[in-house]
Structure 1
Amino acid sequence: MSTFSGIGTALSSLNAHRQALDVTSQNVANANTVGYTRQRATMVASPTAVNPSMFQSASGVGDGVRVTGVERLADAFLDAQVRSASSSASYQGVRSTAYTTLEASLGEPSKTSLSSQMSQMWSAFEDLANNPHQASARTAVLSTAAAVTDKVGALYSSVRDQWTQARDQAVSLVDQVNAKAQGIADLNGRILATTNVGGNANELVDQRERAITELAGLTGATSQTRANGTVDVLVGGNPLVEGSRTNALVVTGAPAFADAAGGAPVTVSWAHRPGSVVALSGGSLAGQLSVLAPADAAGTGGVLAEAAARLDTVATELADQVNTLHQGGYTAAGATGTDFFRLEAGLPAALGLRVAVPDGDGIAASGVDGAAYDGGVADAIHTLSSAARGPQALWAAGVVDTGNRSASATARATVAEAARAQAESQQTSAAAVDTDEETVNLMAYQRGYQAAARVLSTIDSVLETLMNMAR
């Protein structure tokens, strides 16, 4: 090896260790930056660049070291695991929140709950059966029955308002998806432009990977990396992002709760392919769509539509069962065949439930014609409170079912969130900056730099000695 070759070798070591120190400094600077992935300078030995000849004098030791690139120390498997876990946790979280909100709106048990209001109505009928001649007893029946109809309507309105809010949230989520997709497409373009000129785009890649993870939490999206370093993002097997181009999503389907209650689902479609529904595999958006889904015959439809259907059933059964008994009774004036409740046409049963009796004398409490002060029918109506298929039992079963589903949804959300947190912890352990490790690296690269500088200093001293001897 010639003296000048030794200078080049030492110089390459100085440059390589300086770049390694720069990379380590970047890691330390971003030790607390969310989403930052630690980096390493990749150093390889430079072979001797010679052309074979009979007068070749090179030693063949090599020409030093060079940095071939700066590598992101990310684990693709752990990244995919985090995205899958985020998709599941977001989906279960939305459903758990919907059930918790619904359960809270029912207000069971409490003094103002529907169960309490119906119990007061049955008690009023019992008092009327014992005191059919008292006007106050008849007034109490009407007031408690009106309270029941108001409560049923209020609960239905609450469910409808929650559905409307959930649909608005779905629209907001779609807007977020489209914005993040555009951001990923822009980052794809910037990353490609940077790498094409030999630059380091690792920080841009970090931003893109973080955005993809957020998209996975929204839609269950997956990604595919192209040979040029750009990424395609897929939702339901179809591209949401293709290089620097995006395909937007739009909320379609039922615009109002009445449509969903009638069987029309809320869907998410591709804006450029009207009518083409996106097959979401997970994420908070899929969770919202499941909450907004219409009811079905099996009782396993959307959370809110099923609750509304249950309220309609309770209202219908309450009107039918009370009216059936009331029609067989006699009013104070001897009229028979009258209804106690009515259902207004054009409205859901829960919203259209009304008290049909105009005043206390219109209550057909008597079971005997001409016996105005008999309370046989009022007593029969009171027994509906304990009937196996009575309105009270139907509502109680519905409340219990809602509570069980809410508890199940909460448990699933808790498990899914624990899995997501564990996956994220594993990802962080593999990719986050360890300041202790970086300190060791700083010392190693510093010693390497100092050693290379010492080699240059030694060669300089040797050359100076040679030149002095030649004078």
Structure 2
Amino acid sequence: MADLLSTGVSGLLASQVGLSTVGHNISNVNTAGYTRQTTSFNARAPQYYGGMYIGQGADAVSVQRSYSQFLTQTMWSATSSQSRATQYAAYTAATNNAVSGSANLQTALDGFFGAVNDVANAPVDTASRQALLGKANTLVSTFRSLSSQFQQIDQQTNQQVTSAVGDINSLAQSIADLNGQIQKAYAGGAAPNDLLDSRDQAITQLSAIVGVSVTENSDHMVTVSIGNGQPLVGATNAVKLTTATNQYDSSRLEVVGPGGSVISNQLGSGSLGAAFDFRTTVLDPARNQLGRAAIAMQSAFNAQHAQGVDLNGDQGGNFFSIADPAVFNSVANTGNATMAAKITDVGKLSASDYVVRYDGANWSVTTADGTTVPSTGNGSVANPLTVDGLQITVPSGTPQKGDSFQIQPTRNAASTISVAISDTNKIAASGPLVATRSPSNTGKGVLGALTVTNAADPNLKTPVVIQFTSPTTYTVNGGAAQTYTDPGTIAGNGWTLKLSGAPAANDTFNVNPASSASGDNGNALALANVANLGVLDKGVTTIGKSYSQLIAQVGTAGAQANTAMSAQQSILDQATAAQQSLSGVNMDEEASNLLRFQQAYAASAQVINAANTVFDSLLSAVRG
């Protein structure tokens, strides 16, 4: 009967372990990263008695996690991708809000060119001129405001990088510490389930920040790499990442691994990878495109303004001013050379940044992503390096092999544009020349457009008399006879004049310098037409279209980001559901198990009670 008692006790103890496991599952139903545990039972070795084997009860032999490494790693991958997509979408939404918000550049452009038209309608009206300067300052403020918002978003990515690196280091150390604890716990002969869960949860949190690759070793410790294979955790050792400023641009933070190597472009997915991807593929192109629009505005408007005459009788000066392209030297440079850049052809200007490198004999130019760009010249002041409308020189110092510079032709242009004049009299609304028809003319010749073709011609303002010697011939200042065909164009010193109709013999037309306060609006009309002028992309793209391209560029990136976020969320939900179907705590199932083990426990107690009753009966019989 002692065997029956032992059998009952074994059932009691086994059921108690089962009850404890179920209770542990129920208690951790809301614990993040917890894996459901199950108790495994084995029958004890039977005893041979009376020609048969009699069972001796059961033992609880292990408490195991309901765990699949495949499903867990699938969830880590999905977590990285979903976190990246979510963060990327948030950044693109902020950028989209900036370009389509209250500081809308198209509205400011429309207001500015509307004010130019008002000046054309009343060239000497002080109020119209003052309104134009006001709209010009509004336009400049809008450019600057958008640029400032982009800079703020850039700083937010820096904050994200700093925060993410700190979290990575903390989680890496936690995983390394858990590696050591798990290895020691396994020495006791059983799997430390809760420690394993803690390690997996730490890896899950890490995967949300950066893509991870995890390998479990024979000693039960894991090796963790991030991104494109950068080692992070090995056994009980954790690599410490740091941040450092970009080698060219000190306003930019990069992630630095062991030995000082920059690994920003190796991080892949996760929220940290999204920050760098967004910066490269959305933010920088948007800032460059905005700056390109500002440069186009400044260049085209100034060029036309210079062809006019202001109310003081002077040739028009710069209406807008803007800084030269930003040039940054690498902190790794060993030479003392300096580099300068200026824009010489806006029509060829791209939205790219460039890196200029010296190989010890020659300079080479690539875009920021490493694409080689054709260039001419050697970089000297006498023979500048020319690329995409830029002129690059090394005005002083001597470069050494391996030295490099980064050029940002348009990045900061929108933040530096300003109105160069404040005096309304200096608005050059009048054309430099005025064409008149002699009142004594008897023919039907009609004046057309007078266009300045070369404002730098030294004889531009020389008075000219055009006299027709017949309906088909004319002279200029008494020179040789020239042929006229109706309609026709007469060319002068840096100008052209269109005529139509049939002049009569002795008819005259005059081209003279415009006088100050003449009321002429020739240049104001030309300035208003700058809005429709192809300035960028070799004369194809207007200023307004350039901004429209920026809106489309950011909007498309935002739409794609939202689509990717929805898709990745669906993938994560599926991966989580698959993992939780195996590893998650199901309260209905646990309630059923609780009842089952309670009944088994009570039944085992009855076995013990029966054994006790039988034993007492035997004792009574012996005493009798």
TM-score bin (small chain): 0.7 to 0.9
Equivalent position of 2:29 in the other structure: 31
- The alpha-carbon deviation at position 290 of structure 1 amounts to 1.4
CA gap 1:365/1:37 in 2 versus in 1, 3 angstroms:
same
Whole-angstrom distance in 2 between the partners of 1:206 and 1:149:
57
Instruction: Check conservation: 1:167, 1:292, Cα contact below 8 A.
Output: no
Task: Please state which structure has a larger fraction of its residues in strand.
Answer: 2
Do the aligned partners of residues 363 and 184 (structure 1) sit closer, same or farther apart at CA in structure 2, a change above 3 Å counting? same
- The aligned residue for residue 514 of structure 2 is 370
Match of 1:458 in 2: 610
Structure-1 residue corresponding to 2:240: 248
Aligned 8 A contact 2:96 2:558 in 1: yes
The residue aligned with 2:148 is 157
Out of 208, 218, 229, the residue aligned to residue 209 of structure 2 is 218
SS in 2 for 1:42: strand
Post-superposition offset of 1:277: 2.3
TM-score by length of 2: 0.67
Q: For each residue in 1:233-260, what CA deviation from the matched residue of structure 2 results, as whole angstroms up to 9, or x when unmatched?
A: 2213243122221111122342886766
Identity of aligned residues (%): 27
Spell out the pairing of 1:171-210 with structure 2 (5 A cutoff): 171-198=162-189, 201-210=192-201
Distance in 2, Cα, partners of 1:465 & 1:258? 92
Query: Quick one: which of 316, 324, 348 aligns to 2:295?
Result: 316
How large is the RMSD of aligned CA atoms in angstroms? Answer: 2.4
2:310 alignment partner, one of 325, 331, 334: 331
CA contact 2:214–2:224 (8 Å) conserved in 1? yes
Which structure 1 segments of 5+ residues have no match?
A: 51-55, 261-265, 294-300
Taking a change above 3 Å as real, the CA distance of residues 95 and 257 of structure 1, as seen in their structure-2 partners, is farther
* CA positional deviation for 1:41: 0.8
- In the alignment, which residue of structure 2 is the partner of 1:297? none
Write the letter of the residue equivalent to 1:267.
E
Residue 360 of structure 1 pairs with residue 352 of structure 2 = no
Instruction: Name which of 411, 435, 460 aligns with 2:563.
Output: 411
* C-alpha contact 1:225 1:231 (8 A) present in aligned 2: yes
User: Are the counterparts in 2 of residues 318 and 390 from structure 1 also a CA contact under 8 Å?
Assistant: no
Structure whose CA Rg is larger: 2
| Amino acid paired to 1:177 | I
Which stretch shifts more, 166-175 or 460-469?
Answer: 460-469
Q: Does 1:288 align with 2:432?
A: no
Aligned counterparts, 1:61-460, within 5 A:
61-108=54-101, 110=102, 112-198=103-189, 201-235=192-226, 236-254=228-246, 266-270=253-257, 272-275=258-261, 277=263, 279-293=266-280, 301=281, 303-336=282-315, 338-345=317-324, 348-367=412-431, 368=433, 369-371=513-515, 372-387=518-533, 389-460=541-612
**How many aligned residue pairs are there?**
448
Aligned partner of 1:312: which letter?
G
Q: 1:11-64 CA deviation, whole Å, 9 max, x = no partner?
A: 2222111111111111122233333221111111222489xxxxx978434443
Inter-partner Cα distance in structure 1 for 2:61 and 2:235: 26
Closer, same or farther: CA 443–375 of 1 in aligned 2, 3 Å: same
* Deviations 1:425-447 (CA, angstroms, capped at 9, x unpaired): 33333322222211211222222
| Structure 1 position 351, deviation (Å) | 2.3
Structure 1, residues 142-169: CA drift from partner, whole Å, max 9, x if none?
Answer: 2211221222122212211221221121
In proportion to residue count, which structure has more helix?
1
CA–CA separation in structure 2 for the residues paired with 1:163 and 1:233: 30
Deviation of residue 288 (structure 1)?
0.9
2:316–2:427 Cα contact (<8 Å) kept = no
Q: Distance in 2 between matches of 1:200 and 1:354?
A: 69
Which residue in 2 is equivalent to 1:17?
A: 15
SS at match of 1:163: helix
C-alpha distance in 1 between matches for 2:202 and 2:273: 18
Cα distance between partner residues in 2 of 1:159 and 1:83: 32
Structure 2 vs 1, CA of residues 178 and 58 (structure 1 numbering), >3 Å: closer, same or farther? farther
What TM-score, normalized by structure 1, do the two folds share? 0.88
Q: Secondary structure of 1:331's partner?
A: coil
Where relative contact order (Cα < 8 A, 6+ residues apart) is larger, the structure is: 1
CA contact (8 A) 2:32 2:201 kept: no
